[in-house]
Chain A
């Protein structure tokens, strides 16, 4: 059952439970160095505003991600720059031949430059919603609570973001990804030139 976090011990439990997820979400967006500061600031802000959290209005996780999202808006340029750098990196050919690489690592390496480029093309508001959904694993309703925007707005931003992604990742053969995964994992995620 969701509980308020006014009591310091309740807040401690909140910190222990959610700090890793908040830190990781921030780190995936702007890097670990900046994430250390922003995650700390997120929980300092949460402590100051802990009286405002109402478990009836939404999950604690969503509330914390909302605070983190507000802080991340001040670092939009850093996020954009990192995405553009990642988009220019060629997939490491040698990486594909590394038998010690897990499937997840291989997939991430192969598709990373294209995803980075696609995310860089998104307007900030759409990217924010998409990443709360994909990385934060928040539902549309939770994103609505986290960002304080109407549910319809969440849906439209997510829909537009996914459409942009599909367009930008048009050269990526998801069917081949699946087929390759079944027949030859080392070829998984190969792109059409």
Chain B
């Protein structure tokens, strides 16, 4: 028998669902707080377009990483203005622009075949893309006026993470990387670079268990940086040279905080294992020194 609650339930029950404009406005609001102006503009023009996945599928790579910092383009600006500790949604336009900018430079970095983008981490006006080509990985940071590319040449006959080349003209510093692991983060390679116009920055990229749904990296100075995760990858970067001390890892709805422990090295190579036992990277042509 109907009662007063039924009467309330029928009241204003003919209110329609949200219009396309309402969807677009909400998407724009979320994009704004995530610091992604390009995403916001895109949604103002095209309503109800799905956010693209941030991460693509990737095959396992084995061997050791050799870091190369080779290319810095464009002018200077304030130190990574607009950078956000929380990644935003990479729009299709942002992804395409990043691919276009980076893939122009990738062939000049290493003589490799086709590069496939496996991850993209968007923060404000910046995009960090990770590419794979065979056993080689490359990271490409693009900003409003610059593009820098780093490559990790993966070889099976080396046990060291080392830089195999010096910075190209315009690059401000040599890269240094450390490998660490913790919890469901199998391997996390943290590398320090510098961009000519913005100063030092740090890149963290690595492999995670497929069940991991979120990772927040805790930096040395207590700052938190939310990483982009998916398809077995974790990617994040931040201005400055802070290292990762711990990670908050969410898996199967459970979040745990684990310390990130450096993998001791150098050790003998371990065939079939990604980034086999390594220590601090030693850039070619100079000792480790950070950014």
Contacts and interface: CB of A to CB of B under 8 A. Distances in A.
Interface of A: 1-4, 6-12, 15-16, 19-20, 23-24, 27-28, 32, 35-37, 39-41, 43-44, 47-48, 51, 55-56, 104-105, 107-108, 111-112, 114-116, 118-119, 130-131, 133-135, 162, 165-166, 169, 172, 174-175, 177-178
Contact of B255 (A4, A10, A178): A4
Contact of B15 (A16, A27, A55, A114): A27
B221 interface: no
Contact of B213 (A7, A15, A119, A177): A7
B197 to A, nearest CB: 27
A97 B34 CA distance: 52
Contacts, number: 149
Most chain B beta-carbon neighbours within 10 Å: one of A40, A108, A162: A40
B33 A48 contact: yes
Contacts of A115: 7-8, 10-11
Interface string B6-40: 11111111111111011101111110111000000
B53 interface: yes
Contact of B250 (A6, A131, A165): A6
A178 B7 CA distance: 12
Contacts of A56: 253
Interface of B: 1-19, 21-23, 25-30, 32-34, 50-51, 53-54, 87-89, 213-214, 216, 226, 228-230, 250, 253, 255
Contact of B10 (A8, A16, A108): A108
B15 A162 contact: no
Nearest to A113: B11
Nearest to A130: B8
20 contacts: A8-B34, A8-B228, A9-B51, A20-B17, A20-B18, A23-B26, A36-B22, A39-B18, A43-B26, A44-B26, A47-B34, A56-B253, A105-B14, A108-B10, A108-B14, A112-B11, A112-B12, A114-B7, A130-B8, A169-B4
A175 B1 CA distance: 7
